[in-house]
Amino acid sequence: MAITPTTTTDPLQDPLEKVMLTPLMAVTAGRSEVVIGLIDGPVDAGHPGLVGARLRELASAPNRGCSLASSAACRHGTFVAGMLCASRQFLPAAICPGCTLLVRPIFSASGAEAGGIPNAEPEALASAMIDCMRAGASILNLSISLAAASRSADDALSQSLNYAANAGVLVVAAAGNDGTIYSSVITHHPWVIPVTACGQTSMPLGTSNLSPSLGRRGLLAPGERITSLGPNGQSMALSGTSFAVPFVTGSIALLWSSFPDASAAELRMAIVPQASRRAAIVPPVLDAAAAYQRLATIKGRMTA
């Protein structure tokens, strides 16, 4: 089945139209069998936008629950969760509300972080990735950036990413917001799909990191004033590479929902255009509709 691009809104104003997600969202809202591991802050499960959402929080995970909904950690985790699986009646831009979101918090929602920047140790991130994969996640959403770490921490992260590659679990990670040419051990890993943010045009935001790894196997997605769930049952708008990542994660989840027999390697091939594997630091913009057609071709199905 072919999907037909819609032209009802201006793609320069609608981030879903910019990355051709609207026609794919019309095909499916996602399948519950597709499990996204959200490694982020705690999620406010009581937010009205998440009523009916398929949320699973690992019982053994630390930092569970939004004890302080206004904390940086809870705002960040709830915002990203909303982009992926909020009710479309509350947030029409929610990408895959039919998918299952496996919440594995790594940011603490302590009062000391209210208004600050959430952070976690690299070893905690490595452990969280393993936890999500063992709990059945098929995609990991890493809306986080990683500063320089020790050799042992880098090794732990590399081992977790190797585990993901061997298990066929796709990893989508933020490039970071330092406005520099930089790859972390995560975004440099050959299995990871790194994502940087663009604004109203197809140019990266000035604060978004770029790198050869991004140019070869990464994607650009909207990350300027993206709207999702905020504190106290409201919506809010935020900017950064963290919020570009869910566009790619959600697209993969919808593709996997449409083609449940596709392998992780086939999905990677479909979502990242092969022509982007070049000596450049700026990747192409995500095109979810084109990815659907490429995957249909790979799977040998009719596309018209």
CA distance 24 to 1: 11
How high is the pLDDT of residue 8?
41
Residue 296 is assigned to a structural domain of this protein: no
Summarised one tens digit per residue, pLDDT across range 203-246 is 999 999 999 999 999 999 999 999 999 998 999 999 999 999 99
Look at 300 and 293; give whichever has higher pLDDT.
Answer: 293
CA distance 75 to 69: 7
Residue 7 is assigned to a structural domain of this protein: no
Residues linked to residue 35 through DSSP beta bridges, in sequence order = 100
- Residue 183 in this model has a pLDDT that exceeds 80: yes
Nearest by Cα to 167 from 217, 125, 129:
129
How high is the pLDDT of residue 113?
47
Percent of the chain whose predicted confidence (pLDDT) is above 70: 87
- Residue 94 in this model has a pLDDT that exceeds 50: yes
Low-confidence winner among 131-135, 270-274, 286-290 (lowest mean pLDDT): 270-274
Q: What is the DSSP letter of 84?
A: H
Residue 12 is assigned to a structural domain of this protein: no
Range of the domain at 144: 28-284
Residue 232 is assigned to a structural domain of this protein: yes
Look at 144 and 170; give whichever has higher pLDDT.
Answer: 170
Residue 9 is assigned to a structural domain of this protein: no
Nearest by Cα to 248 from 225, 277, 201, 214:
214
Contact 22, 11 (CB under 8 A): no
How big, in percent rounded to 5, are the helix, strand and coil portions of the chain?
35, 15, 50
First to last CA, the chain: 5
Residue 140 is assigned to a structural domain of this protein: yes
Residue 15 is assigned to a structural domain of this protein: no
- Cα distances (angstroms) measured from residue 61 to each of 51, 130, 270: 22, 12, 33
Q: In the numeric block, which tokens belong to residue 107?
A: 């940011």
Q: In the numeric block, which tokens belong to residue 260?
A: 């449940």
Residue 219 is assigned to a structural domain of this protein: yes
Summarised one tens digit per residue, pLDDT across range 16-63 is 999 999 999 999 999 999 999 999 999 999 999 999 999 999 877 776
When pLDDT is cut at 50, 70 and 90, the band that residue 5 belongs to is: very low
Please give the torsion angle defined by the CA atoms of residues 92, 96, 98 and 104, in that order, rounded to the nearest 10 degrees: -120
**Helices (H), ranges, the chain:** 15-18, 22-27, 72-85, 122-134, 151-167, 212-217, 245-258, 264-271, 288-298
Q: Which amino acid is at 120?
A: A
pLDDT average, residue stretch 92-110: 91
Q: Return the CATH number at 105.
A: 3.40.50.200
- Residue 10 in this model has a pLDDT that exceeds 90: no
Domain count, the chain: 1
When pLDDT is cut at 50, 70 and 90, the band that residue 300 belongs to is: confident
- Residue 106 in this model has a pLDDT that exceeds 50: yes
Low-confidence winner among 73-77, 144-148, 250-254 (lowest mean pLDDT): 144-148
